[in-house]
Amino acid sequence: MKSTVFLLLALGILGWGTSLRGEGEFLSTGEIDQVRDAQEPAKRIILYLEFAQRRLDAVEQNIASRKPKSGRAIRINLQEYIDILDALEGSVENGRERRARIDKSLKEMEKRTAKYLGYLESLQAGSQKNLSDYQFTLEEAIAMTREEIAVAQEGSFPEVKGRKPPAQFPSQPPPVSDQPGREEGPPRKSQRVR
């Protein structure tokens, strides 16, 4: 009896969670299809940057509308922006793991996220009357954008930047043999004794 009640409760919670369309979803259906179509990490990075720009454009429109409940819409757009940046970082990591050449995409990412950061910081310094509705989410978005700039600056292969070349090379090359035709190293097939 207890297991039946538990099962019904679990199914009810799952059904309730899936019926709330938009809750936890940060990409539209069309955007999800675009991500599926772009299998290469470099293309996905650019896609996610475009999606992030769309969210910031929506923030700008909501601020310009000056509607009384625009603060909630701005908060939702900023949260989606943060989620998109998180997915963007996942695409960068995927590209690095696959050893893909994502240098151009990372340069674009660095350029665009710097622009995004400037816009977000201007919002924080602004005097919108509903700033308190989304202040915390705005601070998170600024912090996440700074992190993404740092990720982009690391480049395609950050582990290579930390390597140091060997410091102890021989001071002189190995000696050359005095005998003509005699080479140093393991014997060649033609030189082996049978």
Domain assignment of residue 147, yes or no: yes
Q: Which domain holds residue 124?
A: 25-156
Tell me how many domains the chain contains.
1
Q: Give a yes or no: residue 170 inside a domain.
A: no
Residue 163 lies in a domain: no
Give domain status of residue 104, yes or no.
Answer: yes
- Is 143 part of any domain? yes
CB-based contact 46:105 (threshold 8 Å): yes
Q: Coil, helix or strand for 123?
A: helix
Does some domain include residue 178? no
Cα angle: 65, vertex 67, 72; to 5 degrees: 105
pLDDT one digit per residue (tens) for the chain, 194 residues: 444 444 444 444 434 333 333 445 888 899 999 999 988 999 999 999 999 999 999 999 998 888 878 889 999 999 999 999 999 999 999 999 999 889 999 999 999 999 999 999 999 887 777 888 889 999 999 999 999 999 999 888 877 777 777 777 777 776 666 666 555 666 666 655 65
Residue 190 domain flag: no
Q: 184 in a domain, yes or no?
A: no
Is 155 exposed, middle or buried (CB count within 10 Å of its CB: 0-12, 13-18, 19+)? middle
